[in-house]
Amino acid sequence: MADIGSQRFDDNNDPSNVVNPVQAAGSEQDSKKRRKNLLDLAKKDRKKAAVKMVQEWDGTHKYMSSLFAQWKTNRARFAGWTGVRCVKVKDEKVCVIPIGATQMFGGMNKAARLTRRITSQIFSDKPLPDVEPEGNSDDESDQAEFTSRVLTILGDDLDNTGTARDAFDRAHIYGSGFRHWWVDPRGGGHRPMQIFAKPFAQSVQDALDENLPGDLTIRYVRKDGSLTDEPKEARRKWLPKLQREILTGKHIRFIPQQVRDVDDADGMMVGAMVPYGTVKHIFPKILELSEERRKEIVTARPHHARDLLPIGRQDRLSDELNDDNLVFVLTRYHRSNPDYPRGAHLIALGEDFLAHADEWWDEENDKPLDIPIDQFKQMDEEDNPYGIGMMELLGSANEIRASILGTLLEYMAKFSNLKTFVPFLSPVQAQQLQSPTG
């Protein structure tokens, strides 16, 4: 029997890594061991980093094509089209809409009606935030209570209930609906700069001077740093605002793909077609580029860009740039992991312009940031992080219902338009057979 005390300590029998401790994230030793990531590439060549992001986005279509076919089928059935089916052709699903397909009457689309009732039942009571304290101390409990109040007020301003309902409605068709949260640096408007200060404070430096009498109140800051009570005299600045957008699986990709949901993913990709006017608003530095370069960014398209277009919107490109032109914007998030010790946040425009690349880390509290995407998944499905929606279950029943209704209408049409045959020599006329009195 081997002597336990003489066993060699290695990674297999040293689960706590006592002999070989894990290096701190971001340390010199850690940077030598981890693989090169997109942030490293962006420091050397921003264009190559953007190209790689778009290439990885395009590469996801291979395993997304079958989901796209099922979602197209669900949406057609939700709209009431009859005869729609999803068939498998060469290991891929394909949505088939027969030539001459018609829409059923709006009131007869029971599958769509049932899904709307489910949403109404779930959101009959307004959801409220409930923040749990990190520890058992009184300060942590107070912080959690204060955060809950702030989120309640902020949720009303952002229509938290309405957007959650909209995302859940998308999930009926796509299995999951998503809300993507982001900060618009100018969304809060161009407003007077204000701070909390003592009533007799003269400048920003003595705003919190404890020797001054009075309680803290809202004061305005002039251009020279002095304080005033008149908002007209204050210096103005652009204020940020928290924004959100409702997305579906067409816009979202999981990193890696084989995860259960957004909580298990190491990262996420968000692709969307955004108006050029909005892009200029968020990234004003794009205006420093030449007009030819900006046209290249606006006209660049990923593979299958049509899937990202808003419903009913045509991708029309004009010779001149205008605010209505659509720009492909690809946003990518990474949680803190061995490849990205301090996370990552990257935004690419077009096919080769990197507008933003930075770590995804809370510098003030020295904590990793979470991915700002929440998912509303209806039903779980094995190896499918998007799940399945109610239309996938109820949509096929619409076809049976439409067939029964069609047979009934055909029978009623024949019964109400019976052909009357009367012998040529009969004294009874056809009009007499159709009269109410016989």
CA distance 149 to 144: 9
- How does pLDDT run across 393-429, given as a tens digit for each residue? 888 888 888 788 878 888 888 877 766 677 777 787 7
Any idea which residue has 């509290």 for tokens? 365
- How does pLDDT run across 67-87, given as a tens digit for each residue? 999 999 999 999 888 888 888
Supply the pLDDT for residue 20: 46
Q: What percent of the chain has pLDDT over 90?
A: 37
Closest CA to 103 of 82, 134, 126: 82
Q: Is residue 73 part of a domain?
A: yes
CA distance 152 to 136: 23
> Which pair of structure tokens corresponds to residue 276?
């050029």
Q: Verify that 295 and 334 share a domain, yes or no.
A: yes
Q: Verify that 332 and 416 share a domain, yes or no.
A: no
- Crossing angle of helices 110-122 and 61-78, in 10° steps, is 100
Any idea which residue has 């439409």 for tokens? 402
Supply the pLDDT for residue 318: 74
Q: Is residue 19 part of a domain?
A: no
- How does pLDDT run across 110-156, given as a tens digit for each residue? 888 999 999 999 888 887 788 888 888 888 888 888 888 888 877 77
Q: Is residue 37 part of a domain?
A: yes
Q: Is residue 142 part of a domain?
A: no
Q: Is residue 376 part of a domain?
A: yes
Q: Verify that 321 and 375 share a domain, yes or no.
A: yes
Could you tell me where the beta strands, DSSP code E, fall in 50-175?
A: 85-89, 92-96
Any idea which residue has 């004061």 for tokens? 219
- How does pLDDT run across 341-372, given as a tens digit for each residue? 999 999 999 999 999 999 999 988 889 999 99
- Residues with Cβ within 8 Å of 398's Cβ and at least 6 positions away in sequence, in order, are 77, 80, 82, 104, 109, 110, 111
Burial class (CB in 10 A: 0-12, 13-18, 19+), 430: exposed
Q: Verify that 318 and 403 share a domain, yes or no.
A: no
Q: Is residue 202 part of a domain?
A: no
Q: What percent of the chain has pLDDT over 70?
A: 89
> Which residues constitute the domain of residue 404?
63-109+399-438
> Which pair of structure tokens corresponds to residue 246?
């409702």
Q: Verify that 267 and 409 share a domain, yes or no.
A: no
Q: Verify that 368 and 281 share a domain, yes or no.
A: yes
CB-based contact 298:316 (threshold 8 Å): no
- How does pLDDT run across 272-286, given as a tens digit for each residue? 999 999 999 899 889
pLDDT grade, residue 159 (50/70/90)?
confident
Q: Verify that 67 and 56 share a domain, yes or no.
A: no
Q: Which has more confidence, 344 or 8?
A: 344
Segment among 57-61, 134-138, 229-233, 289-293 with least mean pLDDT: 134-138
Q: Verify that 252 and 372 share a domain, yes or no.
A: yes
Q: Is residue 230 part of a domain?
A: no
Q: Verify that 345 and 436 share a domain, yes or no.
A: no
**Residue where one domain finishes, among candidates 349, 364, 388:** 388
Identify the helix (H) or strand (E) that includes residue 246: strand 236-247
Split into its structural domains, the chain has a count of 2
Residue type, 20: N
CB-based contact 175:378 (threshold 8 Å): yes
* pTM summary value: 0.79
Q: Verify that 324 and 181 share a domain, yes or no.
A: yes
Q: Verify that 252 and 380 share a domain, yes or no.
A: yes
Q: Verify that 254 and 355 share a domain, yes or no.
A: yes
Q: Is residue 135 part of a domain?
A: no
